Every structure is written in C-alpha cells, then in structure tokens.
Structure 1
C-alpha cells in the first residue's frame, strides 16, 4: 500500500516525529515485485528499508521512499529427529518467533528473547545476546533486489557474518530487501556452561552456555566470585533448565536493565563494543585497571563500550530532551519531544571524547538517516 507524506513516529523506537515523502508497505513478494516494476520513479530521490525501527536514527524528514515489509509467516520446511528448519517472514516480530520456538520445545534462540525488531533485521545486524548470535541458526536469507528486479537466496556461508555485522550492511546489498529468513533449531539440548567475563576486579561473574542453555545469572541471583566448577555443579544439581525458565528470566533481566522504548524512546545498544588487540588492551590497563573487557578469538578483546562512555563522563548526561541513560551508558534516550539531530550531536561528542582519551573509534550499531 502506497501512502504520501507519511508519519513514521510509530515506526521508530526513538519515537521521533519524522515524516517520509513516500511510504510503501507490502505483505507478499508479488506486491513488492509489481510495485518496483511500475513505480520505480518514486525512489529516484533515495529509499530506505524499514523494519521494526529499533535500529535506526532519523535526523530529519525523509525525502525518498520507505519500503516496509509486512510479510508474516512461520513455515516448517524440513524436519529430522534432531532439528527443525523454518522459513519465517521478514515482517514478523522477532520475539514472536522466539516464543513460538520455545513453546515448541526447540533450542537455540531462547537467549535472544525480547530483542525488539522484525525477523528481517536479524541477519542484517547478526543480533546477539548472552553468548549467542543469530548467525549460528540461520540457513539462508531470501530477498528481492530492486535494481536487478530479481529474487535471490543467499546461503549463510555468503552472508559474511561477524560481530553485529553482515554482508547486508554493505553497498553491494543496499538495494536488497529481505523477504524471509530460514532457520534451523535443535530438538535436543546441548549442555555447556562457560565463563564469559575476564575482568580481575569484577565482583560478579556471568555465566551462560554458548549453546544458549542454562542462563545462570537470573536463576542463581546474586552469585559472587563464583568459579567455573561451582557454576557447572549448580546447573548439574538442578538439571537442564527448561526453555520456558530461560526465556522468562532473560525477559525479566532485559526489562530490569532496559527502559521500555514506549515510555523512553531508545534503540537499545547505540554502539558496538570495540575489539582491540592485546597490545592496545595492555596499554589501556596500565592506567585503567578497572577496564571491563571480554576475550575474543585470535588474541583479541572486546572492551565494554559502556565502560568507555562512563569513563569519559557521559553517563547520565542530558542535552535538551535527549540524554545518556544513567544505568546503562550505551543507551541514548529520548525523554519526549526529542529530535534526531540532538541525538546525533550528542553521539558525536561521545565518540570524539573516547577517541581523544583512548585512541579508539567506536562504531554505531544504529543506522543514521
């Protein structure tokens, strides 16, 4: 459905009062193909593919065309004794699919509960939480290239997934509209609990399984200075924690930590945590022994971007009607009637300050329009 001069306030989780010149929503592949073939003139001034609006910052009204997928379905396409393969429409709310899988007793994505947005955004961002990334469960991505006028299926191996990144963020795929995603979920659990935080000064250690089971921090609430053997024994004593319990506790944790975007506009994590080599980490640790970091592969380390922001003095800072969350510095909030330009300018100040003090360029997760 095509609409003119359309308000996007309810379609971005910052709650910014932004309008677009043209807005087109579609509920199946045929509607999109027909529109592209007949009305390509409408996006000569640019276009943007908008999903749930949970990872976008509009700094002004949009002069082009907004594509908004509303394809919503869950279809089983293959099944064995060990797994189930699904194809899921890009316009389905991601957490609805997670809930569906949990209710069906399928393992894999339960740690990704309550992450806002649509299924179509999942491979773009390679969403992740609590030791789990979406890439480990994606089989392929189907979409339509509006420049080539063709449907394309991209296998997982060609998606070039990495930390909060994928091929779908590159210019090569700027005209590619994701229509559906295929996932593989497991019928059988894998029990592994691993230590996540490597911080010698931490007072609380965080544990979860890399296969997304046994979400310990919410179950055993205030576990202080717990070693790995103790964590394994606790989960063994209690048996395999149910999917429902994992999901319930993750949702409880996220609700406790993250403000509701319907009350305070936000996009969740505004920045990626930067990844540095050991030399850079050692350099920072010489003068900042309390730095929070996490071990990665290939002798690299992820530094908490929240710690960097707080160290630079931006925690709780407010400018006009926008500001940095006082509890989670990696969140920028719209306190009401905020404007995108104020958010963008505040973010730039944060980035410049971190670069001056640490020589690190932090990267935004949010897409700025």
Structure 2
C-alpha cells in the first residue's frame, strides 16, 4: 500500500493519504471502544478540513480499531460514543473543556454531513452516540453482522445528540421516536432496513475491501463509491419487527400517552418496551420527544444549534450537582450501581414548563457557539 501519513495531533486518530486518492482515518482507542475525547474530535476535524479541498484526496473512509484476544485488530469496534466519564468529571469540576467538546463535536458532525466528497463509514461492532455522529452523515454507511447500533442517551439522562434529532426524525413513520426514546440496539441488517445504513459486508471481507480502497488508483470519488456500493449486500429482511406497533404507539402525542398505551396493551413487546422506558430519565424522555418532533422540520444547522442549547442545559440548567446527565453517568459508568435517582422520578410528574426550559437558547443568535454553521 503506497500511503503517506498525514500529520495528526493525536495518536488516537491515525490518518493516511494514498497515492491513488484515498484519505483513510482509523480511530485508535480500542481499549475504550474508540470513545471520543476532545483530542480525537480535534484530530479528526483537522484531517477532514485538510482533505476537504485537497484535489488529490478523492474520497475519505473511516474505521475503528477493535480489541481481540491478546491485542488489537483493524476492525471490530467503530465508536462507542463520547467519553462519558470525562463528561462527569468535567461537569463537576466546572471544566470549560466540556463546552468545547460539544461545540467542536457538533461542528464536526456538520462537516461530515456537508463534506462535498464521498465519505465512507465502516460501522463494524459498536456504533453508538458519537459513533453515529461520525457515520450518519456519510455518503456510504457500511455495517457487518456484528454491528450494534443505537442512540442510548436517555439511559444516562441525556438526549440523542450529534445530529440525532436530524437523522432520527427523518426515518420512516415514528421509528425515530422509538429509537430516540428507548435506545434500542439495531443489528447490522436491521440498520439497513431502518435506513441507518446503506449495505452490509461480511466481517471477513473488511480487510480486503479496505486494502482495495488503499491500493487502487481512483479516477474520482464517485468511482470509489460506485465500486464499494457494488460490493455490499442488501439484507434479505427489509422490514423491522414490530414496525406497525412502533408507528402506532410512538406516534401518540406525549411520553405519558405512549407509556400508558404500551402498558395497557396485551402485547408482550409493548409491555417490555414500557418497562424499559420506565428505567430512563423521565425528564429527558420528554425533552427527547420534543427534540425529535421539532427536528423533523428543521434544517441541519438549526437542529445542531438546538442540540447545543439542550446539552448546555443538561449540565447547567440545574447545576452539575443535580443534573440528570451527571446522575445518569454516575449510575452507569462511575459508581456502576445502575440505580439512577431521577428527578422527577416519574414520567407523569414532568411539567411542560420544565421541558420547554431546555429549548430556550442561552445565547443570542450572533453569539451562539455554532452560529457559523450553514443550513
């Protein structure tokens, strides 16, 4: 493979430019399932911007290093999301790096969606949260038989960010509401059926596909995309299970109505879904439903600005000590007691004013951290 390394400020992001016109990015934090740090966000952004207007780079592909017995492998985990332990520590310490992380991550998500040349995401293994932000704006999204894809933020008292409101709200019917509220994990073939991936490749084929991308002298970016798309498989099953029930229940007007109807149903799936929702942050379920439904009619730039407002409030509206997000991360990843103390504790106890407060921007339009993002 004839490649040249591209300068990167982080060993956690490996970048190389091939003689044939590919820009190749490898997330290199396998011990943490490639969870994103601010350092990684900045490194990816720098490389992407360097290549965006470089005519010698005709297309970009991104993958994640995985863990195997006794070491690491070039595939296996794409990205498990943001570094939530950092979120917890930074919030409690009042560290400005927390605000910088979200501003720069969302700007990177916008860059990916609007890149202007093919950007291909190999979504093998875990693809959650920030990993979805790195992949859903891709022009070609590749999954495998071991892909596990989700936006599980309500589990930690957050909402599906990184453009989650934008791409989930554009799924068919009310699938977006369902995935946003429950954090349900999709397998690779289910992700294709849902519209969150474009095709699948067997895990065993990934190294050869990547090598061909690197070794070929490409005429242009579209040739890259055409070749790889022709190599992908489409799943035999093109419809998600329970889609009729999902559209029925998750099209209801409020979280309380959704959960009440699920609990009243004779369907075992419905009752299990309601039980899952009862474990999530009641407040953030309400915020998330509002987010997805607002986002359905919003252009990308405005939607990301709304998310930046929301995430600011998640850590600051109540203060870090009483933040639902800080508490959710504590329970899941710090103390690991899996018993978050949500406040309010019940879905039925959330007032409309509490929800709407999250959507009031703390910044004037011209001073917004993402004011420069185009729609």
Q: Which structure has the highest helix share of the two?
A: 2
Q: Which structure has the highest strand share of the two?
A: 1
Greater Rg over alpha carbons, structure: 1
TM-score by length of 2: 0.26
TM-score by length of 1: 0.27
